[in-house]
Amino acid sequence: MDWQTSEDSEAARPITDADARQLIGKPPASGAWREGDPVADRRFVPIGDLPLEVGGSLPHVRIAYEQWGTLNAARDNAVLVLHALTGDAHVVGPAAPGQPTAGWWAGMVGPGLPIDTDRWFVVAPNILGGCQGTTGPASLGPDLVEWGGRFPFLTIRDQVAAQAAFADALGIDRFAAVLGGSMGGMHALEWAIGLPDRVGRVAVLAAPPASTADQIALNSVQTEAVRSDPRFRGGDYYDAPDGEGPHRGLALARRMALLNYRSAGELNERFGRSWQSDVSPLGAHGRFAVESYLDFHGNRFPRRFDANSYIRLVDAMSSHDVGRGRGGVEAALATISAPTLVLGIDSDRLYPVADQERIARAVPTTVDGPRPIVLESPFGHDAFLIEREAVGRSIARLLSL
């Protein structure tokens, strides 16, 4: 099999028989990293209580992160890498006990690579509300019970506020660059607009300036798929008597998302109408190859992710609007002072190039003038993860400024 993985913390690589063996047995109630699990390459830093945009605060927040390279004496060579929806802090490196996936951006961070760790000190936090070590719904609340359905609504701005507090805890006043794709690109934009004195350069890869009604609608059906699973139990499934979580609903949401991450042309060319069985496609048994592709990734996902985190993070993406309270999108983008890389993908049907064109027209200083760099790729939205050579050239160009 040669199926590529998708917009998440899994490396874009062929699926192997070893991958398939991971699906033996029922999924856990949650695929979140839990206290007592192997730490792997994670580091942890507490940032205290975090005020939230909608009111109230989240107490005792902790950020999990990974790092590469060395922070120099002037503390001015730090680069912040921000992951997409279902990613984590594990940007590069193999899977390991406590770390269910290989790094999601292999070949991008390291000595001599586009984000050269001989020059740059790279940090990547797991996002607030995530499930790989940072405070999220699967974390224990003040009462030492998982937050579950009690975990508060988060916005993109809340998550950036947590990242800024994380930087403070590390003693980093200003990042030489903030880089992010998809959801991470939303964060990068918020850094550039809300914290301009703390950002030297910005990369926004395959992300919009605000979520549209169409994108919010796609998000809503995914979260409803999770909530409609009887085993969701209002978000309180961690200690269910039968040990079962809402893995069917989460797998269905994942299948829906995959259709937005890859292009129609790629799916048609790769799978066509090929059949995964000797039984005729007109018969009652067997499946089309594309159905098996969705099945594999849908069924794998609950083994490494948490259903409550998925809902909170998808809802945060729906909240994304850089113009909210700032006089509109164009007015907000016009305040960006950092040199900005805006990159879109010609086959992206989740965040199409029109979104990046709107950003590039309004930002005063972009790498390629008043237009985005458009990557030609059959891989759709996932191309920012898969087309590493082309993306790496653009990022290296930004970092050379």
Measure the CA–CA gap between 299 and 258, rounded to whole angstroms. Answer: 12
Tokens of 369: 């003038």
Measure the CA–CA gap between 313 and 307, rounded to whole angstroms. Answer: 10
Measure the CA–CA gap between 271 and 109, rounded to whole angstroms. Answer: 32
CB neighbourhood size of 112 (10 A): 8
Q: Judge contact between 27 and 303, C-beta under 8 A.
A: yes
Which residues are the active-site residues? 182, 348, 381
Collect all residues with Cβ–Cβ distance below 8 Å to 373 and sequence separation of at least 6.
Answer: 341, 342, 343, 344, 367, 394
Collect all residues with Cβ–Cβ distance below 8 Å to 102 and sequence separation of at least 6.
Answer: 10, 11, 13, 90, 93, 94, 95
Collect all residues with Cβ–Cβ distance below 8 Å to 57 and sequence separation of at least 6.
Answer: 49, 50, 51
Measure the CA–CA gap between 212 and 51, rounded to whole angstroms. Answer: 26
Which of 218, 204, 238 shows the shortest CA–CA distance to 363? Answer: 204
Question: 3-state SS of the chain: helix, strand, coil percent to 5?
Answer: 35, 15, 50
Q: Judge contact between 277 and 285, C-beta under 8 A.
A: yes
Let me know how long the chain is: 401
DSSP 133-164: SSS-TTSB-TTSSB-GGGSPP--HHHHHHHHH
> Do the bridges between strand 121-125 and strand 57-68 make them parallel or antiparallel, or are there none, so unpaired?
antiparallel
Which of 267, 262, 210, 296 shows the shortest CA–CA distance to 384? Answer: 262
Using the structure block, give the residue that is written with the tokens 């699967």: 138
Q: Judge contact between 161 and 146, C-beta under 8 A.
A: no
Measure the CA–CA gap between 262 and 278, rounded to whole angstroms. Answer: 27
